[in-house]
Amino acid sequence: MHLTLEFGGGLELLLKSSTKVHKVEVPPKDGEGKVTMKGLLSWVKANLIKERPEMFVKGDSVRPGVLVLINDCDWELCGGLDAELEEKDVVVFISTLHGG
Amino acid sequence: MGSSVADGAKLQPSRAGSRLCVRCGERKAALKRPKTLEQICRECFYIVFEDEIHQTIVDNSLFKSGERVAIGASGGKDSTVLAYVLSELNRRHNYGLDLFLLSVDEGITGYRDDSLETVKRNEIQYGLPLKIVSYKDLYGWTMDDIVKAIGLKNNCTFCGVFRRQALDRGAALLKADKIVTGHNADDIAETVLLNILRGDIARLSRCTFITTGEDGPIPRCKPFKYTYEKEIVMYAYFKKLDYFSTECIYSPNAYRGFAREFIKDLERMRPRAILDIIKSGENFRISTTTKMPEQGTCERCGYISSQRLCKACVLLDGLNRGLPKLGIGRTKAGDGKEHAKHSERSTSSLQGKHGNFDF
Ligand SMILES: [Zn+2]
Ligand SMILES: [Zn+2]
Ligand SMILES: [Zn+2]
């Protein structure tokens, strides 16, 4: 599945290449044929994050204080971890932690 | 989790934006407000966000017409949104304020530059004049000079003390009547918690005041006292405001970092927790048997001080007399520990968002 991921608020510094926008191809989980936010988070952790993953994830979700938007909509309105992504969705992650 | 079950999110989890704004009933909801759990659209969010800040300003009589107000601007999210919203409200509601951006340049080669660039762009974007005061102007020493004189080991004492005062001194230099800072509800809740953890009763009561220093030369206020960080960042994101955020990842103070994380965990379970902690802080009554430190002012510069000279003046004295160690080591509990952990890197966090409690 083709997705556009955007990292902001300093999260981009944790990535292998510290650009903000990443066009990626995320494979659906075996047998399910779909990509959920939960699946995406573990994919990002495994494939994009270079250092200090604890700044990005906590347990199986994002670290509290990291905002997530799916197609510019707060993920809390879209089902959070269970939200199912679709082809060409844009997912934005923004850290709110510090740097006021 | 309690908050997400309430409105049927579980029944229709899949698509983004399939639900309508509870305020206008017309447009798709774009976010869930942490304060009220309402789902609202972008346009309605702008309205309620700005109106609540206006209401806070009016209810607390933060400003008087004709005042010259310095916005402490670091280039970070909070002060950027504050500058934007305040200039909007000033126009919209005719506050009659003479607003300007005030930034402090510590004089650290190759450091401050990026965030100052952001503030310079903000100057143009929001049409607010920008004044940059440097440590050199304020103290006669740049941070680089200080490090040269004293070495890397103790420079944190300096940056903590100097930064705490820099905004006040800069505002005085520019004849401001008031300073506003971008401290938000999350910041204040965190500080309440830290002051409890440290048993710092004097600061516990003071840290929730929306205006402080009314007895001193320049009062400071926090129009974002009740504004959630999540909403500030969402607002900046939707409005595409230009802010700087690289320092966020490096928390200079581990203890403060834990308190922040705890607050954020609480918020996830029950977003109201942030407002409730502030409320608890506000309602603390100090028993008469608790000794409060005497607050006076520094003989030389007028800054709040419990001693004859404030800490910055003592340190400056040492630097100027070639005895830079003067004043270090006899640091009272707060200062030394506060800065012990943080490295040079943190000197980039302007106006001591992390490193101090000048609320
Ligand atoms: Zn609406
Ligand atoms: Zn320091
Ligand atoms: Zn002084």
Residue B242 has pLDDT above 70, yes or no: yes
Shortest CA distance to B190 belongs to which of B245, B260, B246?
B260
Assign B224 a pLDDT band (cuts: 50, 70, 90): very high
d(CA B299, ligand 3 centre) in Å: 7
Residue A29 located in a structural domain: yes
Q: Is the pTM of this model over 0.80?
A: yes
Token output for A73: 């909509």
For residue B68, the Cα-to-chain-centroid distance in whole angstroms is 19
Let me know how many helices (H) and strands (E) chain B has, helices first: 14, 10
Instruction: Evaluate whether B317 touches B326 at the Cβ level (below 8 Å).
Output: yes
Give me the number of domains chain A comprises.
1
Q: Which ligand is nearest to the CA of B298?
A: 3
Residue of A nearest to B243 (CA): A9
Residue A100 located in a structural domain: no
List CB-based neighbours of ion ligand 2 within 5 Å. Answer: B 156, 159, 339
Residues 6+ away with beta carbon under 8 Å from B23: B38, B40, B41, B44, B48
Cα Rg, chain A, nearest whole Å:
13
Other residues' Cβ atoms within 10 Å of the Cβ of residue B265: 14
What average pLDDT does the segment B1-15 reach? 43
Per-residue confidence (pLDDT) for residue A18, from 0 to 100: 80
Residue with the larger pLDDT of the pair A57 and B350: A57
Residues 6+ away with beta carbon under 8 Å from B69: B63, B86, B97, B98, B99, B100, B176, B177, B178, B179, B180
Which range marks the domain in which residue A27 is found?
2-95
What is the maximal distance between C-alpha atoms in chain A?
Answer: 44
pLDDT digit string, tens, across residues B81-129: 999 999 999 999 999 999 999 998 888 776 677 788 889 999 999 999 9
Among A10, A79, A83, whose Cβ lies nearest the Cβ of B248? A10
Residue A75 located in a structural domain: yes
Mean pLDDT of chain B: 81
d(CA B221, ligand 3 centre) in Å: 21
Interchain CB contact of B32 with A (< 8 Å): yes
Assign B12 a pLDDT band (cuts: 50, 70, 90): very low
Helices assigned H by DSSP within B16-174: 42-59, 77-92, 113-126, 135-139, 143-150, 155-173
Per-residue confidence (pLDDT) for residue B221, from 0 to 100: 95
> What is the C-alpha separation between B315 and B260, in angstroms, rounded?
31
CATH topology of domain B46-286: Rossmann fold (3.40.50)
Among A14, A80, A94, whose Cβ lies nearest the Cβ of B233? A94
pLDDT digit string, tens, across residues A45-96: 999 999 889 889 999 999 999 999 999 999 999 999 999 999 999 999 999 8
Residue B220 has pLDDT above 50, yes or no: yes
Per-residue confidence (pLDDT) for residue B258, from 0 to 100: 82
**Among B10, B237, B249, the residue to mutate for chain A (most A Cβ within 10 A):** B249
What average pLDDT does the segment B264-287 reach? 89
> Checking phi first, is residue B66 left (phi over 0); if not, alpha (psi -120 to 50) or beta?
left
Residue B13 has pLDDT above 70, yes or no: no
d(CA A28, ligand 1 centre) in Å: 35
d(CA B239, ligand 1 centre) in Å: 16
Per-residue confidence (pLDDT) for residue B151, from 0 to 100: 73
Among A67, A71, A98, whose Cβ lies nearest the Cβ of B234? A67
Residues 6+ away with beta carbon under 8 Å from B240: none
Per-residue confidence (pLDDT) for residue B293, from 0 to 100: 66
Residue A45 located in a structural domain: yes
Residue of A nearest to B12 (CA): A79
pLDDT digit string, tens, across residues A21-35: 999 999 988 777 899
Interchain CB contact of B309 with A (< 8 Å): no
Assign B327 a pLDDT band (cuts: 50, 70, 90): low
Per-residue confidence (pLDDT) for residue B203, from 0 to 100: 82
pLDDT digit string, tens, across residues B119-169: 999 999 999 999 999 988 888 988 888 888 877 666 667 777 887 788 888
Q: Positive or negative, the Cα torsion across B244, B246, B249, B254?
A: negative
What average pLDDT does the segment B273-291 reach? 81
Residues 6+ away with beta carbon under 8 Å from B157: B315, B327, B328, B331, B335, B336, B339
CATH of the domain at A21: 3.10.20.30
What residues does each domain of chain B span? 46-286, 292-352
Per-residue confidence (pLDDT) for residue A66, from 0 to 100: 94
